[in-house]
Amino acid sequence: MTKEEKKVILASSAGTIFEWYDFYLYGSLAAIIGAQFFSSFPEATRNVFALLAFAAGFLVRPFGALVFGRLGDLVGRKYTFLVTILIMGISTFVVGLLPSYETIGWVAPVVLILLRMAQGLALGGEYGGAVVYVAEHAPHGRRGYYTSWIQTTATLGLLLSLLVILSVRLWVGEDAFRAWGWRIPFLLSIFLLGISLYIRLQMEESPAFKRMKEEGTQSKAPISEAFGQWKNAKFAVIALLGLVAGQAVVWYTGQFYALFFLQTILRVDMFTANILIAWALILGTGGFVIFGSLSDRIGRKPIILAGCLLAALTYFPVFNFITETANPKLHAAQQNTLVTITADQNDCSFQFNPTGTSKFTSSCDVAKALLARNSVNYSVNYVSGAVPAKIAIGTVEVASYDAATVPADQVKATSEAFTKSVNDALGAAGYPMAGQPNPDIVKVEGFFDIFAAQEIKLILVLTYLVILVTMVYGPIAAALVELFPTRIRYTGMSLPYHIGNGWFGGLMPATAFAMIAQTGDVYYGLWYPIVIAVGTFIIGLLFVPENKDKDIFNDKAT
């Protein structure tokens, strides 16, 4: 690389790392933020609202892609992603300053949600700008390698946010962190913003855009040209279904769902789970550059589709191994304890709840949700008229209840009594329960407290998941850039990317939990990424062109 090319990659990558850092902070601290800004609600409700605010950032990402993609194709790549990083950095900094609900009342959560939406809009425009800018500076035959540095930024941003949060927690203590220390990582973003702005202001516009501007061949209506004309719109559809959808679920599963699975399903404490994921990210991140560079030689398509196929074939054994290694007692209970729900099928719902606002109150739903939250493997025996539903744990049977028919002043006591009866029976059957000692579960005390067989095995298998992420994500930027002509490139690639990652990936936790509750199998939620990854493999194999040798500087006829 020349000095100027290194500067281009540094400018784009550094700013994008900081944007992902800002975006991930909220997700990592959602429960604490919920207590600060939704404190007038019960704990369960405040957590729902906190997650809704987090989801708002994902949902608006495609709109950010349209707004800033259009701007990038009209006025230029450089100035557009200067605007996006300003919006992201300022929004994140203001979250750190925002007074809590107890100080300013309902204004606090409203402003918080608006700031989250601003972050999502900015992220929707940032990625496309950074990728297009680097790709249009890259020499022919090296686009995969150059753009792969941008692909490291999401993982490095996640890693940076985890390390900062862990460091601040250790520095100020857990109680102080929950009270005010959580603001520090958000406030630190102002320094990252200053560095990013300084670097980016030194850069020139991309050569492809400058040439297009000099020739007067810019698009006057990038959105309608990109998506209103089938010759271009078909590539957006192919990009979404044949590349991005599978990439999104593999990426989300290997990083976010693995963390969710460790903490929520396997009951691994937050510190330990974050340390394990952080080490996997450190060990696996180099794969982005390796596979990006490899795609310059053998093509983008074979690597991305191979990653999707490998993920689909190995997710079940990998996550079963994670359970057996991280929490052996839970794994043994899942294998050896027979748990059955007897219920009327009409009393049972599919508990898909992406917004967190739906109520599932029937006796069957109450029973399924409680067992799913306790990571219990169970089967359902549908019997007409079996209302209320009953849970059989070995030889113990516990009757559920319909929350909608219980008097309001008795709901809490009824729920607590039912939960205690079920938990007592599960504990007696061998399930590890909250508050009970479980010496076999994985636990680390410090960042370098990982040199034991249990921790090493987990880090290695989590690193494998990260390597799958690098296979599908390392070459994706170059693949998307090459699908669209210069005049609509920013707009054309940004929308399918953010629909795939913001919606297909963002819906995974809610969908996986609903599938687990419906079937009683803690691994059944993995069918969501597996089916989408297989779909992408088939569609990509049939319809995605291989454009690694395409000249993206002379594409006016495309």
Domain 233-327+441-558 CATH assignment equals 1.20.1250.20: yes
pLDDT at 411 (0 to 100): 83
Confidence class of residue 256 from pLDDT cuts 50, 70 and 90? Answer: confident
Q: What is the pLDDT of residues 381-432, one digit of tens each?
A: 999 998 899 999 988 999 999 988 888 888 889 999 999 999 999 999 999 9
Task: Kindly report, residue by residue over 432-456, the tens digit of the pLDDT.
Answer: 987 778 889 999 988 888 999 999 9
Residue showing tokens 């009866």: 421
Instruction: Compute the distance between CA of residue 354 and CA of residue 55 in angstroms, rounded to an integer.
Output: 9
Q: Burial level of 445, CB count in 10 A (0-12/13-18/19+)?
A: exposed
Angle between helices 245-252 and 527-543 in degrees, nearest 10: 150
Please say whether the beta carbons of 377 and 334 come within 8 A.
Answer: yes
- CATH fold, domain 1-201, is Growth Hormone; Chain: A; (1.20.1250)
How many other CB atoms sit within 10 Å of the CB of residue 536?
31
What kind and span of H or E run contains 7?
helix 3-28
pLDDT per residue over 312-345, tens digit each? Answer: 999 999 999 999 999 999 999 999 999 999 999 9
Give the per-residue pLDDT at 293: 95
CATH 1.20.1250.20 positions along the chain are: 1-201, 233-327+441-558
Cβ atoms of 218 and 437 within 8 Å: the answer is no
- Whether omega for the bond prior to residue 354 falls within 30 degrees of 0, making it cis, is no
Q: Tens digit of pLDDT for each residue in 490-536?
A: 888 888 988 888 778 777 776 787 788 788 898 999 999 999 999 99
User: How many CB atoms within 10 Å of residue 480?
Assistant: 29
Q: What mean pLDDT do residues 462-470 have? A: 96
> Is it the case that residue 11 has pLDDT exceeding 50?
yes
Give me the pLDDT at residue 557, please: 38
- Distances in Å between the alpha carbon of 316 and those of 56, 180, 493, 504, 528? 31, 41, 32, 20, 12
Q: In the structure encoding, which two tokens stand for residue 403, read together?
A: 């929350």
pTM: 0.84
Alpha helices in 30-142 (DSSP H): 30-37, 43-59, 61-75, 77-97, 101-104, 107-135
Structure tokens at 121: 């809009």
Torsion of CA 290, 293, 296, 301, to 10 degrees: 40
